[in-house]
Amino acid sequence: MTTVGVTVGVTGAARGIGAAIARSLRSAGYDVLLGDLDASVVELAEELGGTGGLLDVTDTQSFERWLALVPKVDVLVNNAGIMWVGAADEEPEGVAEKQMAVNFHGAVRGTLLAARQGARTIVTVASVASYVSPAGEASYAATKHALLGWMKAARQELSGVQLCLVLPTVVDTELAVGTASGGVPRLTPEQVADAVVKVIVKPRFETFVPARVSVLVRVLALLPQRGKDAMYGRLVPNQTKADLAVRQDYESRRLS
């Protein structure tokens, strides 16, 4: 895909992975439309020479207004996401619903709206948690499993639209503050951004970051339960042991 005159919309773009994606896209020559609940997204867009606006991915009218800020969005990157960490039986009331509203319904809403308005490539930043469910991330993993299931079906139905998933392991952002990374090194937002740009250029349904994690996922699927349990113990982080005190600021801002 040529980058000249191609506009890419990025949700959750004010910081972290979203901001890194925006910078990588501009470096590659794309025009960008950036959205976030954080008003600083407008400043980032201005810095990059793009367009920015407030966006609540849980609200259809907000999404429509945001998409209308530019003549056309050729590519959409569903990046907005939130995560609560802790024991499943200690999760506060309503937190699972909030995660589902952003992580699942927000991405589905964006996909359908962008496809109806002519976008031909839609990239969703999901997670390896679409396949692997770490202890301490029960509801978060459920939202990512749901997203994978929906995308598998929708890609067969949305004619002419390339649906792509980028599935990173733990990334060094505020969403993952205080958590462990398991058997692989913690990623940088720039590594995920690089994968997103490559997928836009050459679309494929699933891209694991790092790529070798795809082997782990395939092996886990073939093992008997005892083997799965052993692999989980060695490679998958147990987030019930995360530093929950360090996470309080993030979760009070994003999930309260």
User: Of these residues, 30, 140, 232, 250, which one is catalytic?
Assistant: 140
Q: Are 255 and 82 in contact (CB under 8 A)?
A: yes
* Cα–Cα distance list, 139 to 3, 57, 156, 250 (Å): 37, 19, 27, 17
The letter for the amino acid at 73 is: V
Q: Which H or E element spans position 150? A: helix 138-157
140 is catalytic: yes
Q: List, as one string, the DSSP characters of 34-73.
A: EEESSTHHHHHHHHHTSEEEE--TT-HHHHHHHHTTSS--
Kindly list the catalytic residues.
140
